[in-house]
Amino acid sequence: DAGITQSPRHKVTETGTPVTLRCHQTENHRYMYWYRQDPGHGLRLIHYSYGVKDTDKGEVSDGYSVSRSKTEDFLLTLESATSSQTSVYFCAISEIQGIYGAEAFFGQGTRLTVV
């Protein structure tokens, strides 16, 4: 199994508070991603990183920020949590896609509830 660890695995927080989710990899993969999963929406990309300090927005980036100061760590921050950010968050990693493809490997997920 790919070495990806998400922390925490579960979190309940109050509206308006900041929250940081951590993704740690031991695979030295270049790309790291944060997705959220909601019923009926599948997985939607929040932000991704293609190297240390290199990040870009996904389709649902509003209200989220990320940082990657080391190859192995990718942090997702909700600056001021809202109930609409209640979701399951997945971190994923991948290598550069070549002719043989490069699948994404996923962490176990973080279930975040904003009350």
Partner 1 sequence: AQKITQTQPGMFVQEKEAVTLDCTYDTSDQSYGLFWYKQPSSGEMIFLIYQGSYDEQNATEGRYSLNFQKARKSANLVISASQLGDSAMYFCAMRPLKGNQFYFGTGTSLTVIP
Binding site for partner 1 (CB under 8 A): 31, 33, 35, 40-45, 48, 50, 56, 58, 88, 90, 92, 94, 97, 99-106, 108-109
What are the structure tokens assigned to 9, written together?
């695995």
Shortest CB 18 distance to partner 1, Å? 25
Q: Are 19 and 12 in contact (CB under 8 A)?
A: no
Nearest distance from C-beta of residue 66 to partner 1, angstroms: 14
Least separation in angstroms between residue 82's CB and partner 1 is 23
110-114 and 10-13 beta bridge pairing: parallel
- Identity of the residue, 41 or 70, whose beta carbon is nearer to partner 1 in the bound complex: 41
In this complex, which beta carbon is closest to partner 1, that of residue 14 or of residue 101? 101
Nearer to partner 1, 17 or 113 (CB): 113
